[in-house]
Amino acid sequence: MIPHSRPMLDEEEILNLSNVIRSGQISLGGEVLRFEEMMAGFIGLNGAAATNSGTSALHLALLSLNIGDDDEVAAPSYTCTAILNAINYVNAAPLLIDIDPDTFNIDLNDLKNRITKRTKAIIVPHMFGLPADIEDIVTLGIPVIEDCAQAIGATYKERQVGGFGYLSIYSFYATKVIATGEGGMILSDSKRALEKIRDLKEYDKKDIYSPCFNYKMTDIQAALGISQLNKLPLFIEKRKGIADRYAQSFKDIPITLPARYSDRRHIFYRFVIKTRGNTDEYLRLLEGKGISCQRPVYLPLNNYLKLDGFPGTYEVWNKAISIPIYPGLSDDEIKMIIDVVRDVFTR
């Protein structure tokens, strides 16, 4: 079975981890600081704060904006539940926005129609590695948190995503573009926001008590992150090469291929197609032939909240299938995926 996701790890990661273990400093230390500096430099921002997950990064980002009761946080309806969890952690109200069914990203026009005076932040995921219309969203005058969990290395108008909003957050979970097992990070040009975030993510050795969190990254995770970040250009090159092979191989079968735009670089964290038939049946057939494919979002957030009025979201959810695409795929595996997908969708 070819898995849907698989991290690409080699001797460099093993060596980095061995060095950390030999040092005896396996919790927060110099490797975390080094990883933070490398990430901030890569995106082009002043500073970073590493965390133990992408969800905790988003939680701290919302807290740094003083968001709480009676506030709304806008977010797309078609994304993972981690975003909904973080909004609920701060007791804010989720304001769900429909998506553009071509890009899978937040729909700018629907966002403009739904925001209110209570909307204190907009969370903008760059879904599956394709940048959202981030430049236009920022002009709305509401603080933007860019969710780059799936898009590190993607660019919008030749600028790195993550550098447009007030804050940007990242996830380094085992299936993400760069993987540290668990882990996350917050980046910003705001010294005030980063100071508050750093204070909140550590709970000990405070002169005055206030509720804080144990959200620290470890040097073990950071050692993996440093190695993975060094390889990011190679990872993106491999992902784009596989995406090009898929696009060429699938252009004559009855599916809709991922959108591409000249003003933004898609890094293909996922290769998401849209079907023209029974998605569940296609998933079963692909699994039966040794290819693990998935719905890229398990359920839309509006489904959990029992909200109607999201046509773009339901169009995508009913049709979308994510096909394996990651740097560790061998040439034989790529050929097998192409053959199986062509067979399943042309029968």
* pLDDT tens, position by position, 57-100: 999 999 999 999 989 999 999 999 999 999 999 999 999 999 99
Residue 124 confidence (pLDDT) = 98
φ, ψ at 125 (rounded to 5°)? -75, 140
- Could you tell me the mean pLDDT of each successive run of 10 residues in the chain, 347 residues long? 96 93 87 98 97 98 96 98 98 98 98 98 98 97 98 97 98 97 97 96 86 94 97 98 98 96 97 94 98 97 97 97 98 98 94
Q: How far apart are CA 173 and CA 149, in angstroms?
A: 9
- CB-based contacts of 328, cutoff 8 Å, min separation 6: 6, 7, 8
**Domain residues of the chain, as ranges?**
11-230, 233-346
Strand partners, 265: 155
Residue 300 confidence (pLDDT) = 98
Q: How far apart are CA 179 and CA 138, in angstroms?
A: 29
- CB-based contacts of 237, cutoff 8 Å, min separation 6: none
Strands (E), the chain: 47-51, 72-76, 93-97, 119-125, 144-147, 155-156, 159-160, 167-171, 184-188, 264-265, 271-274, 320-323
**Residue for token digits 């250009």?**
233
* pLDDT tens, position by position, 183-240: 999 999 999 999 999 999 988 888 888 889 999 999 999 999 999 999 999 999 999 9
Residue 168 confidence (pLDDT) = 98
Q: For the domain bounded by 11-230, which CATH number is listed? A: 3.40.640.10
Instruction: Look at residue 82 and give its three-state secondary structure.
Output: helix
Residue 85 confidence (pLDDT) = 98
Residue 104 confidence (pLDDT) = 98
Q: How far apart are CA 235 and CA 46, in angstroms?
A: 25
Closest CA to 317 of 75, 127, 79, 133: 79
Q: How far apart are CA 169 and CA 152, in angstroms?
A: 10
Burial of 213 (C-beta count, 10 Å sphere; 0-12/13-18/19+)? middle
Strand partners, 168: 146, 187
Burial of 306 (C-beta count, 10 Å sphere; 0-12/13-18/19+)? exposed
Q: For the domain bounded by 233-346, which CATH number is listed? A: 3.90.1150.10
Strand partners, 106: 99
Work out the angle at residue 315's Cα, subtended by the Cα atoms of residues 258 and 259, and round it to the nearest 5 degrees. 15
